[in-house]
Structure 1
Amino acid sequence: MDHKVVNVDVCIVGAGPSGALLSYLLAKNGVTTMIIERSSGNTPPFRGEHISAETEDILEEHQLFHKIEEKGLLRMDKVEFFDHGQVIKTITPQKDENHVGIHVPQAHLISTILEEAAKYDQFNHMVKTKGTGLIQSENGSYCGVKAIKGEEEWTINCSIVVGADGRYSTVRNLANIPVEIIKHGYDVLWAKIPAPAGWEPTVRLLLSNGQQLALFTQTGRFVQIGWNIPEGAFPELKKLPLSRILNPLHENFPELKENIERHLKSWKDIVFLDVFSSKSPTWVKDGLVMIGDAAHTMTPTAAIGINTGMKDAYVLAPIITEAIRTKQFSEGTLREFEVLRREKVEYLQEEQINEEKSYYTNFERYSLLETE
């Protein structure tokens, strides 16, 4: 197996939204950066794709938003809450905003950011590359990543390693950073169908006979549907007719019936997500820092995970830039990032739990597994 060596200032493991944005900001700041991604670069289905006004502002600040908009995005006009087919509450944009969230396909978001990053000589990017180990100096500071790309072994020497590789983070595990997994009592099923004519750019939240569903209008005239189900219930639920989860949609949104029947024919058309959040006692070590779900996994509630991770990147970029300039890579130096972000992140995790509890009492009284 061939062995190759590269030397950079920073190696980022994971090219999701937070890793991609961080790589762009660092390259723009003159920091030589290598970002590696184990996949081919194609985004899997049903990742978080709704960005907030704060994330929009970050992208605007760095001249990225309009380039993403050219590829396609969709502003949400409102959020509607349904009960028995009736709208019981509506959230509209605040007076200084023109949307309640924006659907941005991750493919549009990530590809645009990486394309812009590639305009800088300091940017390097490898896909289909799996991180297999971390390199430490004699004093224990992290100073590189071992990786495999096809038949090639790579040694990526760097001053700082960034773990941006999601909720099952390899970097976190290799760095022996403890993680507390928090279950929330539910899992999620996802599906996507074409939107019917006249379907408005709205987030619809539904409570039908105790069953919680969410419908997100998407760019390209699609509707993403999410069902909350009891934690661990999916194996038994799959033994029942698919109509068990589709009937509330037919009853509340009859205009979707034709597209549902055409595109959701079996359980093979449904994607399962096991839901949990996580906390770690630290996000940093000497020469290493974690961001996004690798540091603090969020649940799908309120679609804040992508926004939290991208804010991490925005806050961390100037800290790393200064660390590289001053050659200070210690845990103490990098901890500034954690000091700036931990309180806000943990507040958002608590808010997710509070929001889930507002549904959970109703959800608990009805089981999708009960016989009709």
Structure 2
Amino acid sequence: MGKNTTVAVVGGGPAGMVLGLLLARAGIEVTVLEKHANFLRDFRGDTVHASTLALLDDLGLGERFAALPQRRLDRVAAQLDGGLVQIADMSRLPGAHKHVALVPQWDFLDLLADAAADEASFTLIRNADVTGLLRDGDRTTGVRFTDRVTGQEHELTAALTVACDGRHSAVRAAAGLRPRGFGVPMDVWWFRLPRRADDVDGGLGRFTAGHFCVLIDRGDYWQCAYMIRKGSDKALRAKGIGELRRRMVALVPWLGDRVDALESWDDVKLLDVRLDRLRRWSRDGLLLIGDAAHAMSPVGGVGINLAVADAVAAARILAPELRRDGTASTTALRRVQLRRWWPTALVQGGQRLAHRAVLGKALNGDPQVTPPSTGTLPLPIRVARRFPVLQGIPARLVAIGPLPERAPAWARRPEAPGRGTTSGGDSVRSA
């Protein structure tokens, strides 16, 4: 069965939904293909950064977003062997949003989908499993997909296909594109532990020799990310779930009263950490953005922010041609990469440095915990303590990024009255 559209967006994550919404507001016929029936999945990235919050304001969605249940992180701290230190102060950010919002990603995506549904030129097809590309010679002319409910196969022809389907991109594989990989020293165990009312608020990182763990405050539970040496998952799991419980109690003793909530390894998901980047993000009729073009390390938690920025830049650069000619030239597609390549390479360079200088060395050691002491803290942290204004630098790198993108004028809308309230959300701080 055949269908047609002007732009086919593969993947209904943050990048895909933002791109679909913006193009629809330009009056361009756009179809987003989402593999699942809904957005109710255990996403690992539930952060909405300050630059994305500013984008939502531009789009007239700020109040509706603020009404969603959320936590707000305005400071970031790390527990080192030498004590608790604050490393980022988001109150020093420019603009109206001086925090990172912690919101279930399904709520964020539903908000974007609802806003896009108000546009006549927008279509969202769920349960659409993309299995291949349509081609006319060297030009991509659309996609093949299977309805996961009926099993029926479809073809969707499009003037432009945009891959927003993540680090395991089916579109990228179908196009025969292979990213350049940068070695990473770790994988991540992802799990939940109960949160007590008298626990510290916000996000907390705990670092010591052989151990790295990040705790993210989700209200009634902690979302935990525990880093392990790359490729060690199978051997560690063979030791039983007690191994993870032991490590967590040794690392964060006040979690000792709840680690039994980890009943088996079924409660622990493995994140296969990748850091890679395509040399070329486009071909005739095809563009790749977000993780499909550049998978990010979890260091800094900035992958979603970069993917959304990619989508905004792509919409702003491509919409004029798509409206005028009904297609996007290879020159315009290359301009998207030219715009977004350097912030991506800059962030990935910082992540690679952190991998080599900090994580790689530490994770090669035996995971023992040194009792808290008054030992010397690393020089950058001591300087940031002495001059608190410097804590605004890491805050800006994480919450805004090196090249924030704002919505083009034609996509902006005033806030619809009665659609939301600015009172939603709890402000939280790390201990």
TM-score w.r.t. structure 1 length?
0.91
* Structure with more contact order per residue of length (Cα contacts < 8 Å, sep ≥ 6): 2
**Counterpart of 2:156?**
156
Corresponding residue to 1:62 among 59, 64, 67:
59
> Which secondary structure does the structure 1 equivalent of 2:320 belong to?
helix
Instruction: Tell me the distance in 1 between the aligned counterparts of 2:161 and 2:286.
Output: 5
**Counterpart of 1:272?**
270
Q: Is the 8 Å Cα contact of residues 133 and 142 (structure 2) preserved in structure 1?
A: yes
**Counterpart of 1:201?**
201
Corresponding residue to 1:145 among 143, 152, 175:
143
**Counterpart of 1:313?**
311
**Counterpart of 1:34?**
31
How far does residue 252 in structure 1 lie from its aligned partner after superposition?
5.2
Unaligned stretches of 5+ residues in structure 2: 369-431
Q: Is the 8 Å Cα contact of residues 191 and 268 (structure 2) preserved in structure 1?
A: yes
Instruction: Tell me the distance in 1 between the aligned counterparts of 2:226 and 2:171.
Output: 31
Paired amino acid for 2:38: G
Q: Is the 8 Å Cα contact of residues 43 and 107 (structure 1) preserved in structure 2?
A: yes
> Which range moves more in the overlay, 121-130 or 237-246?
237-246
**Counterpart of 1:336?**
335
> Which secondary structure does the structure 2 equivalent of 1:258 belong to?
coil
**Counterpart of 1:106?**
105
How far does residue 8 in structure 1 lie from its aligned partner after superposition?
1.2
How far does residue 99 in structure 1 lie from its aligned partner after superposition?
4.2
**Counterpart of 2:289?**
291
> Which secondary structure does the structure 2 equivalent of 1:57 belong to?
helix
Q: Is the 8 Å Cα contact of residues 282 and 333 (structure 2) preserved in structure 1?
A: yes
Q: Is the 8 Å Cα contact of residues 85 and 251 (structure 1) preserved in structure 2?
A: no
TM-score w.r.t. structure 2 length?
0.79
Paired amino acid for 1:77: D
**Counterpart of 2:365?**
365
Deviations 1:12-58 (A, max 9, x none): 01001110111111111111111111122234324211222112111
Q: Is the 8 Å Cα contact of residues 26 and 323 (structure 2) preserved in structure 1?
A: no
Q: Is the 8 Å Cα contact of residues 8 and 34 (structure 1) preserved in structure 2?
A: yes
Instruction: Tell me the distance in 2 between the aligned counterparts of 1:162 and 1:235.
Output: 36
Does residue 303 (structure 1) correspond to residue 301 (structure 2)? The answer is: yes
How far does residue 314 in structure 1 lie from its aligned partner after superposition?
0.8
How far does residue 326 in structure 1 lie from its aligned partner after superposition?
2.8
Instruction: Tell me the distance in 2 between the aligned counterparts of 1:259 and 1:63.
Output: 42
Cα distance, 1:297–1:189 mapped onto 2, change above 3 Å: same
Does residue 12 (structure 1) correspond to residue 9 (structure 2)? The answer is: yes
Unaligned stretches of 5+ residues in structure 1: none
Instruction: Tell me the distance in 1 between the aligned counterparts of 2:63 and 2:249.
Output: 37
Instruction: Tell me the distance in 2 between the aligned counterparts of 1:241 and 1:284.
Output: 45
Q: Is the 8 Å Cα contact of residues 92 and 98 (structure 2) preserved in structure 1?
A: no
Corresponding pairs, count: 362
> Which secondary structure does the structure 1 equivalent of 2:234 belong to?
helix
Deviations 1:108-152 (A, max 9, x none): 1111101110111111111111112212235x3222111111232
**Counterpart of 1:22?**
19
Paired amino acid for 1:27: A
Q: Is the 8 Å Cα contact of residues 206 and 252 (structure 2) preserved in structure 1?
A: no
> Which range moves more in the overlay, 40-49 or 30-39?
40-49
Instruction: Tell me the distance in 2 between the aligned counterparts of 1:106 and 1:199.
Output: 24
**Percent identity over paired residues:** 25
> Which secondary structure does the structure 2 equivalent of 1:188 belong to?
strand
> Which secondary structure does the structure 2 equivalent of 1:196 belong to?
coil
Q: Is the 8 Å Cα contact of residues 75 and 99 (structure 1) preserved in structure 2?
A: no
Q: Is the 8 Å Cα contact of residues 204 and 214 (structure 2) preserved in structure 1?
A: yes
